[in-house]
Structure 1
Amino acid sequence: MPGLKICVAGVGAMGGMLAGMLARTDVDLSLVARGETLRTLREQGLTVHDGQSARIVRCAANTRAPDTVQDVVILAAKSQQLPALAACVSHAVGPQTLVVPVVNGLPWWMTLPTGSPCGAARACLDPGGELARAFPPARVVGCVAYAFASLDAPAVVRSAKAPTLVLGRVQGGNADDPEVAALVQVLDAAGVVITPSPDIRCDVWAKLAVNLATNPLSVVCEETLGGLVAAPPTRQVVRDMLEEAVTIGRACGFGPLRSVDEQLGSIAVADGHRTSMLQDYQAGRALELDAIGYAVMRVGAVCGVPMPVTATILRLADFKAARPDRQGNR
């Protein structure tokens, strides 16, 4: 839709890739970033490598969203960064703004209402309730992203394949309602593959199960997705963690979920891809262990589902992340 005002808040691998694709359309695009990323965006622009060539994208970038109310705000940041990001963009969220969190792990909006099993995870995802207040559930479009993107340097993104976004209203609408349809039209024009979801919570849990079973383990082993499922010992660990996550999902009523064997097959296709958590670990950045791991364990405790393998791998990932000789801890 011409003239749609879209703010991409967070210009890491995923946010940078989406911003680079949206810049090819005629939307009014703005970016929210900070530090070295913001400096690079202002001085050199956003560099997007798409596998065949590199493009330089230049658009407005600042530490906060524009003062004008946006039609769409895309949150593309780590879960632990969202409260601070909310303070930078909430003023641009109006009664008709769509908020699209492109995040890993269990999103804060799945902890609402607090009486649901996922409500047990609110204490580690939105303890102060800032996100629930800043982004009303009726304006949130849930999103599950399937993408293979990496960050070569601040504001330098690499991706050889178009991402797929699964989209569905969190509350008060359908994936094909007029507001979401306008967003889908723009994303489609940008080259993003869109899959509408009648129940976005099921789709979130399906990906969460894979993230849980691979991201922390990839840090412990410092191995790619393909490597994790190719070796029998780690393949069994992935299988065990998938079974724990799928059992919790079914207890919560999220289904139908794919079988563990189907999920293992989809992981193998990723081959040499490094998980986002492994990329963060190797770059010395904080890990999303709360949203991807410990939040799920809180839900499992409420559902009465033991998670011994998951608990062990999370502790080991935590240990590695805290090592004093790790880059970022020195």
Structure 2
Amino acid sequence: MMEVSMMKICIAGAGAIGCTLAARLAQSGQSVNVLARGKTLEVLQQNGIQLSDIDGDYRVEVNVSDSAETLGHQDLIFVCTKAPSLTSMLKLIQPMLHAETIIIPVVNGIPWWYFQGIQGRFAGESIQAIDPQGLMSRLAPQQHLIGCVVFITACRDAPGVVTSTTPHLMVIGEIDHRMSERLTHVRAIIENAGIEARAVDNIRDYIWTKVAANLTSNPLSVVTKGTLEQIYGDTHLTPLVRTMFNEVLLTAAAYSARISFDPQTFMEQGAEMGAVKTSMLQDYEEHQPLELEAIGYAVLELASKVDIPMPATQNLLALTQFIADQCQP
């Protein structure tokens, strides 16, 4: 490990991704605080975090609390929560912010800040599907933000116990697409934790790449109960997946974003992920809210703004919403 300067780091949210980050950062020597609640809080206080990934098995102790006031000011906060809980989490972290605090939302889908930090036709607008009142923008002003796209597949086996069988990759970038000293510093901290980290000047390209993966797999997994291997490899499903992928490609291109995979490579790499359940299918099975707004409806909203139809995507989202509604109490 290389030597990097220490920061006061908080992981806000102790699900699969949050625990993976916390364990890796703590293992690298960083002092890690975790904001957690309920059963997870109790388990982390008693047993720490247990992570099993491709590099080995770890058990690490972290400073954990359900009180942002107790944890105090933080220099770097990774907000690791599902999109439906994002507003409440941003409210919770307010006591931890100081003038230079960096907030990195580690959340799937189109981010609420998509039209911030850049010029253009829609500059400064809110994404209505995610943040209709602009509350997230007020809770996390753009000067605090670094964008993030996480390519980590992890499963929470129990509170504080996580398994991951694929390589870890995080792509980070300033939301105004400039390279900065703080961006380089954060990249070094992540890299030192054994996670491949890339600091880029085009974070929205990577957002669209991850959105393409999430949107073509997550809702369909809820409808079919299929794994990634089946969704991207079964001939009954691949025509629909290819159609949806093409719809996302057109929409991304309309916003001058580039998805780095051609369709065939995209499908092959998806199938190679194996018999993995998507995070949305896991949420559905646990009767948790689904991330349909950030992963799906926000994309439809962006497509509508530039007059691009997405009929296959729209129909699948409607079917997924119907199925999800049947599980609500």
The correspondence of residues 292-307 of structure 1 with structure 2, limited to 5 A, is 292-307=295-310
TM superposition shift of 1:212:
0.7
1:57 aligns with 2:76: no
* Maintained 8 Å contact 1:22/1:187: yes
* Alignment pair present for 1:266 and 2:269: yes
Q: How does 1:148-297 map to 2 (within 5 A)?
A: 148-171=153-176, 173-174=178-179, 177-255=180-258, 257-297=260-300
Matched, 1:141 2:146: yes
Number of the residue aligned with 1:73 = 77
C-alpha deviations, 1:297-326, integer Å up to 9, x for none? 1111111111111111111111221224xx
- Do structure 1's residue 108 and structure 2's residue 98 form an aligned pair? no
Which secondary structure does the structure 2 equivalent of 1:96 belong to?
coil
Q: Could you say if the C-alpha distance between residues 309 and 121 of structure 1 is closer, same or farther in structure 2, counting changes exceeding 3 Å?
A: farther
Unmatched runs of 5 consecutive residues or more in structure 1: none
Q: Which amino acid aligns with 1:300?
A: A
Q: TM-score, normalised by structure 2?
A: 0.92
Instruction: Pick closer, same or farther for the CA change 1:284–1:118 going to 2, 3 Å.
Output: farther
- How far off its partner does 1:53 sit? 5.2
> TM-score normalised to the size of structure 1?
0.92
Amino acid at match of 1:126: D
Tell me, yes or no, if the aligned pair for 2:117 and 2:142 is still in contact at 8 Å.
no
Checking the alignment, whether the CA contact within 8 Å between 2:116 and 2:125 is kept in structure 1 is no
Distance in 2 (CA, whole Å) between partners of 1:159 and 1:103 is 18
For residue 121 of structure 1, report the CA deviation from its aligned partner: 6.2
Match of 1:122, SS state, is: coil
Offset, 1:267: 1.0
1:165 Cα shift? 0.4
Contact 1:121–1:298 (CA under 8 A) maintained in structure 2: no
What is aligned with 1:94? 98
In the comparison of the two structures, how many residue pairs are matched?
Answer: 324
- The one-letter amino acid of 1:187's match is I
Other-structure match for 1:126: 131
Letter of the structure 2 residue corresponding to residue 226 of structure 1 = E
Q: 1:108 & 1:116 partners in 2: Cα distance? A: 17
Post-superposition shift, 1:262? 2.5
Distance 2:282 2:143 in 1: 33
Query: How far does residue 6 in structure 1 lie from its aligned partner after superposition?
Result: 0.5
CA gap 1:183/1:47 in 2 versus in 1, 3 angstroms: same
Residues 217-253 of structure 1: CA deviation (Å, up to 9, x unaligned): 0111001111112211211111111111111111111
Residue identity opposite 1:229 in structure 2: Y
Please tell me whether the aligned partners of residues 20 and 46 of structure 1 are also in contact (alpha carbons under 8 angstroms).
yes
Distance 1:273 1:323 in 2: 24
Identity %: 31
> 1:240·1:309 contact (CA, 8 Å) conserved in 2?
yes
Query: Could you report, residue by residue, the CA deviation over 1:281-300 in whole angstroms, capped at 9, with x for unpaired residues?
Result: 12221110000001111111
Write the distance in 2 (CA, Å) between the matches of 1:56 and 1:299.
42
Q: 3-state SS of the aligned residue for 1:285?
A: coil
Letter of the 2:103 counterpart = V
Flag as ranges the 4+ runs of structure 1 deviating above 6 A: 118-121
**SS at 2:109 equivalent:** coil
Aligned partners of 1:97 and 1:122: how far apart in 2? 24
In 1, are the aligned partners of 2:116 and 2:175 still within 8 Å (CA)? no
Unpaired segments ≥5 residues, structure 2: none
RMSD: 2.1
One-letter amino acid of the counterpart of residue 85, structure 2: Q
Q: Structure 1 residues 121 and 266 mapped into 2: Cα distance closer, same or farther (>3 Å)?
A: farther
- Tell me, yes or no, if the aligned pair for 1:108 and 1:125 is still in contact at 8 Å: yes
Amino acid at match of 2:21: L
For residues 145 and 316 of structure 1, the distance between their equivalents in structure 2, rounded to whole angstroms, comes to 27
1:51, distance to aligned residue in structure 2 (A)? 5.1
